[in-house]
Structure 1
Amino acid sequence: MLKTYFLTAYRALLRNRSYSILNILGLSLSITCSLLLFLVIRYELSIDKFHAAADQIYRLTVHENYESGSIRSGSVHFPAAGVLRNNNPGIVEMAQVYGEEEVQVTVPANGQEPPKYFNTEHPVAFIEPEFFHLFDFGLNLQDKGKALKEPNMAILTQSYAAKYFPDTEAVGKVISLNNKLNLKVAAVIPDLPKNTDFPFGIFVSYPTLKNYIDYDLTAWSALTSQQNLYLKLPANADTAQVRTAITKTLKAQMPEKKRERLIFVLQPLKNLHYDSTYETYSRRTTSMEVLGIMAVIGVFLLATACINFINLATAQATKRSKEVGIRKVLGSNQKQLMLQFLGETFLLTLAAGLFSVVLAELTLPFLNRLLDLQLTFSLLEEPGLLLFFLLELLVVTLFAGLYPAFVLSGFQPIQALKSKMARQQMAGISLRKGLVLVQFTICQLLIICTLVVSEQMRYMRNKDLGFNKEAVVLVPLYKASAEKMFAYRQEITKLPGVQQASFIFSPPSSDFSYTTNFTFDNQPHNAAFQVNMKLSDEHYISLFGIKLLAGRDFTHQPPTDTIRQIVINQTMQRQLGLKSPEEALGKKMLLGRNMHGIIVGVAKDYHQNSLRESIRPIAMVNMGGASSNIYFLAAKVAPGQTQNAIQGLEKVWQKAYPDYIFEYQFLDQTIADFYKEDQRRNTLFRIFSGISIFIGCLGLYGLVSFMATQRTKEVGIRKVMGASLWDITYLFSKEFIQLVLLAFLVAAPLAYYFMNKWLQDFEYRITLSPAAFLIAGMVTMSIALLTMSFQAIKAARKNPVLALKTE
């Protein structure tokens, strides 16, 4: 019996090839998208969920409250771990982690080969042995952690070991970090899983850190995002109670003036990847809202394809009414007929599913490049993926096939044999209209949202940031002291293509920041907010084209000067309660504990971070020739001279640092990286919007084709009676034009609500205007008209004599 059902279904589908092709194409595209989205969502939801104690692990974070707002940091002060170990407030275990990015690794010469230099692709982690107790990575590494108790010890992952020592055993060998630390390789471990926010390839013993960084590890003043503290709490612990105990313990040990503003917060490991408030070592966070949007888009695409199927199947009812009548006369009941038609739906869905597997395999590399992921697709080797695929085929079969099967199997045999079925009963016109309305509402909703997101991305790329970001090359100097490059200052400014050069702590806009407390105008207490310091030489303001509202630019200042020149921004001037920029001039400041300065100028506000964030108080400080806090060389390049300038900078670099790899980056690209994740998702959503429109047009094309076939004689009569090509085209199109317009009226307010809510995440954003909505409506209408007009014109151009012969 089952064989008969499928054989009959197969023959029916062959008889209606165009109907079958349209449905298979629409379903395969939607299933492909849903499979790819499933892979992305599953990957994002799996980040660091595999640790055995994942539910018990927390990161200790710090909030500093000021009158102007709260500063939140995922880091904690260096002495905190020691205090908590000595006064354990209900913690099972803890581990400190210090992550250092863009480190150069040198493999020393061995007598036969010269030294080899490598830049790390992932952060280097300075960790305590307990790190491998908290985070097991499914690799059982507890014993390996013991090797990190002593200073100057390192553990490599297999990939890094093979890279640095391809022809020999890595254990026992020596590597150098930034030509500053010599480390002995104590062990080699398997590569960590990809789905983690701890993408480390080199682990260094934590006691080594004191010889690597300039921070005082005993001082409560130092707070850097590179330093994290992870805690393991008892199972089912009362986190509020533990947090209170931790806060009490830490505040009892820190200086009194820091206690008032600090709040310690426990961030669950399971929330780490989904909270953009704090940074992660992977430099990636994905909000649950974004994952929810991806899931909704996958459902929308499947729904659009299923609507196509229902519309075309119900429209085909007139062709199959006699078949149903004959089957019922021969003894088939409604249940058997429903199984027959569901079998046809399943065959179509199965064919589409198999085709989608091929499409997913082909498009996955593009998706990996777009989202910078390493997803794999192996249907037979991944039970979860296979189960999702089979469930999807079942759901699509039932959702797309159940109603058409019910309609077709419900025909009365006598009426069906006489072809006297009511048109509404056979074709389901009202249902088709409703489904087309839903389909094009989804399409227009996606298009409007995509246009708004694209406009916001364009706004962020083109907005005047308040400084010059074009043709500025940044050369990192943090791998070694900047003193050597200072010796080549004159040579750098004379290089072909280099118009100006400046030694700086960080560019005007950067995620590399230095915030500190300060006192103003000899006041006895710190100000009620912190300031973001920009340390540089006297060329900083002119090179970046920062505009001054009052006062003057920096002048040359030797490093021996004890009073530094300072230029503040408008925001800082206002938060200091000064009514005009001129009032700030000549005022004294004490930055941190020992940096004295005098304000010589006030600059117009510029953006120092992503446009998601507001402008913060800034103090630009002239460090003269002091190199302790100089991490970049910035060079302004003449138009058309980029290559010459970079080649010249590389030659100077090699003179100063022959044992270091020359690197550079453009400032505008650094700023564009602020929005890299947003841009990637925008590209993905644009693709899905296009696919949604395409699937909708496939269904529209099929419906108009069917209408043209059903109304062939009517068209012939109308042409004989004098109807024009336009009249015939309008006859076929008017019903669907009304539906597209109605869909726009439904989609527009929904899109406005969702996009207005999304834009609230940006401090600086576009204003929603009717343009995006009108463009979406016009694009959808134009595509729908083109789709319909092709078939309508084809029907209208037929010979009316042949049309009148049609039965």
Structure 2
Amino acid sequence: MLKNYFITALRNLSRNRSFTIINVFGLALGISAALVLFKIVLFEKSFDTYLTHYDRLYRFTKKVVSPNSVELEGGMQNPFAEAFKNDYPDLGIPVRTFYIGENQLSVQNVTGDWSHFEQRDGIAFVDADFFKLFDYEWRVGDSETALSKPNSAVISESLAEKYFGVTDGGYDRVLGKEMKLNNELTFFISGVVSDPPKNASLPFKLMIEYESVEAIFDFYQPDSWTSTSSNAHVYFLANENVTGDQIRSVLPEMAEKYMPEGENETIFQLQALADMHFQPEYNTYGNIAKSKDFLTGPIAIGIFLILTACINFVNLSTALAVKRSKEVGIRKVLGGVRNQLVLQFLGETFLITILAMLFSMGVAELVMTNMEDLARYNLSLDLLNDTPLLMVSVAIVVGVTLMAGLYPSFILSGLKPVAVLRSKGQSSLAGNANTRRGLVVVQFLISQVLVICTLVVISQMKFFEKKDLGFRKSSIVTFPLPSNEADKLDLIENELMTFPGVEKVSFSFASPLSDNNIGSTFGYAPLETTGEFDAAFKVIDENYLELYDIELLAGTDISEYDTALAEALISEQALKLMGLENPQDAIGETIRSGFGGSKRVVGVFKDFHNKNLRNKVDPIIMVKYPGYYYEGALRFEGSDNEMSGLIAKLESAWTAQFPDIIFDYSLLSDQIMQNYEDEANVLRLFQIFSGLAIFIGCLGLYGLVSFMANQKTKEIGIRKVLGASVGQILNMFSKEMLILIGIAFILAAPIGFYLMNDWLSGFEYRIELSLWVFAAAIGFTLLIGAVTTALRSFKAATSNPVDSLRSE
């Protein structure tokens, strides 16, 4: 019997090749997209689970409350770890880490000269106990002593190969080798370890003894409880039988004991390592943390795509049922029972699903190994070693077989043999038309929701590009400064100003909208507040405002001759916190500053966005500190062709002053859009999957129109004999399509509005949802649906009526 089912299934699939191909292709698209999405979700949920002490690992964080803000921070004060270890030695082991990411590394070549390389990730300073918390496989060296000496470092296999050419496993040759970091710190290799896996929250490849950070980080204050870097984190391995609540219970005592009086309230917190990857509100290395909502979206889209593919299968199968009605009748006359027929048709569905799964696995593998630009990592199916994904794949095959196969199976197996053998199979199937229409509505409901989401994300991205940020962002080139020696900066400025089109050169800590910010506090004596106001401090020179076109509302710019470094410019937001309305009233006033002492206000400037548009504008204070100039910028008014000459000039001036540093530069406009990389990836995902949903939906619509054409074969023949034109026949099919897409849109519009309004609520500055988005969605879907309907119905409208009426 099973052999008969299998042979019959193959014959039917072969006999109806076009339907088979469409079914396999539609299912494969839905399944492959779902596999990719589910693999991404499983990967994101796997972060750090490989660690031996995963359940006992934590990170200390803090909440800082000021009169104007509440800040959640992952960065911790440098003395915290040692103080906690001394006060509570029985609770566990605290470990400091300081991640610096992209920097320059140098190694000596065979001639004894130093060769310079740009290392874009993986550089960190860590405590000697780091390897007690985080697992690495040791190739050479001792985890207990590798970081016990000053300026010692442990390097990964990939970096040992990159910088020392070790490809034969002889890692012992690397021990004792010297390297330089930014030409400021010389360190030696004391161990080689495996590379961290892709799902590591701490992607460290070069780990340097922690105290060496002082050589390269000007803000390092080893004993300060009032200074924090966002890159300085403290991780904690709890002793066995020590719970998270026990650790949290002592944190208030830590704050009370060590935080100086007069500082803003600081609340120390404990974050389980298992939660760290899903709490992006606390900063993480490389900003790889994802909100838990991120996981919901891919799962929902994956399920919807599979559902859409199953609906497509059902519609095509029922369209084919008319042709198979006599087969069912003959089987029943010969003794076939309904259960046998259901199993036969389910077997055919299972065979198609298996073919689709095999095809989709190849497509999914191809996509996952080439998606680094979209997801920042590449993946692989690897079903044999990925039990959760294997279970998901099996569930997909079983689920798709049942969802896609049960309805057509029961419809076909339920046909009356007498009716179908009298050629009334068509009328027997007609009663299920509303079910098929409902399935098409569900397909286009899903498609239109995705189209609405795509259009909203596109609009928000265009808003990011066009939004006035309060400063100039075009025609500005920025470049890092390895040194802030005044004579070198003067030479660079003079050299650049000789190039035609260069209007201004400025040196500062960072551009107006930069991740590199100095957060500190300020106070104003006439106000009696508890604590000081949080503010973003910008270190600038006298050319900064003019270069970036930042509008000065009152007073003067910072002075070139402010040698006492006592002047300050404040923003409108800072003015409001001082309780003043008129910018002129602030000129000459003195403010207390947590960054460099008291300052005299010499100017008030218009607010600008110092963070991306997800966040509100901070109060900003600008001060002059030449010792903190880490970035140069120039404004260039010239053609694109002249830009290449300018960059060559800039590189020449750079190399003359910093011959041992790799030259680098970037366009400010590009830097700004990098702030919205996550949104750009969301857009690409929506574009891809809404396109898939629409395409699969069109296959379902094709199935419905095919069914209608089979049902109305004789009706069409009679209409044509009575003089109906091709256009009138096409119109008969189009009305059905318009009604179904219209119903789908009525349901999709409120769903899309709710979802995207919720997404947009995460932005302080956002577009308003407008009617054109929904009009464009329905218009686009109608156009696609009309084309699909026309392609299938045109064949029926142009067929010879003699062929359909001959049997009458």
TM range (shorter): over 0.9
Residues 594 and 422 of structure 1: is their aligned pair in 2 closer, same or farther, counting only changes over 3 Å?
closer
Structure 2 Cα separation of the partners of residues 651 and 187 of structure 1: 38
1:355: which partner in 2? 359
Aligned pair count reads: 800
Following superposition of structure 1 onto structure 2, how do residues 486-497 of structure 1 map, counting pairs within 5 Å?
Answer: 486-497=490-501
1:159: which partner in 2? 158
> Is 2:590 aligned against 1:588?
yes
Q: Secondary structure at the match of 2:601?
A: strand
> Is 2:273 aligned against 1:269?
yes
Deviations 1:649-672, CA, capped at 9 Å, x for gaps: 111111111111111111111111
Deviations 1:18-69, CA, capped at 9 Å, x for gaps: 2111111110111110111122112111111211222221111121112222
Q: Secondary structure at the match of 2:344?
A: helix
Per-residue deviation at 1:109?
Answer: 4.9
Deviates more, 1:539-548 or 1:172-181: 172-181
Deviates more, 1:491-500 or 1:269-278: 491-500
Following superposition of structure 1 onto structure 2, how do residues 299-318 of structure 1 map, counting pairs within 5 Å?
Answer: 299-318=303-322
1:771: which partner in 2? 772
Deviates more, 1:222-231 or 1:275-284: 275-284
1:136: which partner in 2? 135
Deviations 1:518-555, CA, capped at 9 Å, x for gaps: 23258797864111111011000000000112222233
Structure 1 Cα separation of the partners of residues 529 and 12 of structure 2: 86
Following superposition of structure 1 onto structure 2, how do residues 281-680 of structure 1 map, counting pairs within 5 Å?
Answer: 281-380=285-384, 382-421=386-425, 423=427, 425=429, 428-478=432-482, 484-521=488-525, 528-557=532-561, 561-592=563-594, 594-623=596-625, 626=626, 628-640=627-639, 641-680=642-681
Deviates more, 1:736-745 or 1:592-601: 592-601
Structure 2 Cα separation of the partners of residues 225 and 311 of structure 1: 56
Structure 1 Cα separation of the partners of residues 334 and 553 of structure 2: 93
Q: Indicate if the aligned counterparts of 1:407 and 1:426 stay in contact, CA closer than 8 A.
A: no
Structure 1 Cα separation of the partners of residues 487 and 175 of structure 2: 35
Q: TM-score, normalised by structure 2?
A: 0.95
The residue type equivalent to 2:66 in the other structure is: Y
> Is 2:785 aligned against 1:784?
yes
Residues 801 and 326 of structure 1: is their aligned pair in 2 closer, same or farther, counting only changes over 3 Å?
closer
1:724: which partner in 2? 725
1:798: which partner in 2? 799
2:258: which partner in 1? 253
2:4: which partner in 1? 4
Gaps of 5+ in 1: none
Structure 1 Cα separation of the partners of residues 127 and 394 of structure 2: 46
Deviates more, 1:416-425 or 1:313-322: 416-425
> Is 2:125 aligned against 1:126?
yes
Structure 1 Cα separation of the partners of residues 433 and 528 of structure 2: 81
Per-residue deviation at 1:235?
Answer: 5.1
Q: Indicate if the aligned counterparts of 1:304 and 1:695 stay in contact, CA closer than 8 A.
A: yes
1:21: which partner in 2? 21
Deviations 1:630-654, CA, capped at 9 Å, x for gaps: 1101111222232122111111111
Deviates more, 1:133-142 or 1:114-123: 133-142
Structure 1 Cα separation of the partners of residues 265 and 328 of structure 2: 78
Per-residue deviation at 1:418?
Answer: 2.3
1:104: which partner in 2? 104
1:223: which partner in 2? 228
Per-residue deviation at 1:724?
Answer: 2.6
Structure 2 Cα separation of the partners of residues 313 and 777 of structure 1: 27
1:117: which partner in 2? 116
Per-residue deviation at 1:383?
Answer: 4.3
Residues 381 and 64 of structure 1: is their aligned pair in 2 closer, same or farther, counting only changes over 3 Å?
closer
Per-residue deviation at 1:703?
Answer: 2.2
Residues 336 and 593 of structure 1: is their aligned pair in 2 closer, same or farther, counting only changes over 3 Å?
closer
Structure 1 Cα separation of the partners of residues 635 and 454 of structure 2: 36
Deviations 1:703-732, CA, capped at 9 Å, x for gaps: 212322332221121122232333211211
Per-residue deviation at 1:407?
Answer: 1.6
Task: Return the match for 1:233 from 231, 238, 258.
Answer: 238
Per-residue deviation at 1:445?
Answer: 0.8
Q: Indicate if the aligned counterparts of 1:9 and 1:343 stay in contact, CA closer than 8 A.
A: yes
Per-residue deviation at 1:384?
Answer: 4.0
Q: Secondary structure at the match of 1:506?
A: coil
Deviations 1:565-598, CA, capped at 9 Å, x for gaps: 2211111111211011111111112322643322
Structure 2 Cα separation of the partners of residues 465 and 196 of structure 1: 35
Q: Indicate if the aligned counterparts of 1:509 and 1:671 stay in contact, CA closer than 8 A.
A: yes
Structure 1 Cα separation of the partners of residues 565 and 712 of structure 2: 90
Deviates more, 1:414-423 or 1:691-700: 414-423
Q: Indicate if the aligned counterparts of 2:523 and 2:533 stay in contact, CA closer than 8 A.
A: no
Q: Indicate if the aligned counterparts of 2:136 and 2:195 stay in contact, CA closer than 8 A.
A: no
Gaps of 5+ in 2: none
Structure 1 Cα separation of the partners of residues 484 and 551 of structure 2: 32
Deviations 1:80-102, CA, capped at 9 Å, x for gaps: 11111110175211100011132
Residues 467 and 698 of structure 1: is their aligned pair in 2 closer, same or farther, counting only changes over 3 Å?
same
Q: Indicate if the aligned counterparts of 1:520 and 1:526 stay in contact, CA closer than 8 A.
A: no
Q: Indicate if the aligned counterparts of 1:47 and 1:196 stay in contact, CA closer than 8 A.
A: yes
1:757: which partner in 2? 758
2:146: which partner in 1? 147
Q: TM-score, normalised by structure 1?
A: 0.95
The residue type equivalent to 2:496 in the other structure is: I
Deviations 1:382-406, CA, capped at 9 Å, x for gaps: 4443333233112111111012111
Deviates more, 1:226-235 or 1:342-351: 226-235
Structure 2 Cα separation of the partners of residues 803 and 324 of structure 1: 22
> Is 2:684 aligned against 1:711?
no
Structure 2 Cα separation of the partners of residues 384 and 708 of structure 1: 44
Residues 201 and 481 of structure 1: is their aligned pair in 2 closer, same or farther, counting only changes over 3 Å?
farther
The residue type equivalent to 2:716 in the other structure is: V
Q: Secondary structure at the match of 1:659?
A: coil
> Is 2:214 aligned against 1:210?
yes
Q: Indicate if the aligned counterparts of 2:520 and 2:595 stay in contact, CA closer than 8 A.
A: no
Identity level (%): 40
Q: Secondary structure at the match of 2:174?
A: coil
Structure 1 Cα separation of the partners of residues 521 and 16 of structure 2: 76
Structure 2 Cα separation of the partners of residues 763 and 207 of structure 1: 39
Q: Indicate if the aligned counterparts of 2:588 and 2:601 stay in contact, CA closer than 8 A.
A: yes
Q: Secondary structure at the match of 2:533?
A: coil
Structure 2 Cα separation of the partners of residues 139 and 397 of structure 1: 48
1:187: which partner in 2? 191
Deviates more, 1:685-694 or 1:713-722: 713-722
Deviations 1:447-492, CA, capped at 9 Å, x for gaps: 1111111111111121111100112111112577676334433223
Deviations 1:496-535, CA, capped at 9 Å, x for gaps: 4432110101100011110112232587978641111110
Q: Indicate if the aligned counterparts of 2:177 and 2:189 stay in contact, CA closer than 8 A.
A: yes
Deviates more, 1:33-42 or 1:481-490: 481-490
Structure 2 Cα separation of the partners of residues 55 and 265 of structure 1: 17
1:33: which partner in 2? 33
1:74: which partner in 2? 74
Q: Indicate if the aligned counterparts of 1:22 and 1:702 stay in contact, CA closer than 8 A.
A: no
Q: Secondary structure at the match of 2:284?
A: coil
Per-residue deviation at 1:242?
Answer: 2.2
Q: Secondary structure at the match of 2:676?
A: helix
> Is 2:147 aligned against 1:177?
no
Residues 522 and 725 of structure 1: is their aligned pair in 2 closer, same or farther, counting only changes over 3 Å?
same
Q: Indicate if the aligned counterparts of 1:318 and 1:427 stay in contact, CA closer than 8 A.
A: no
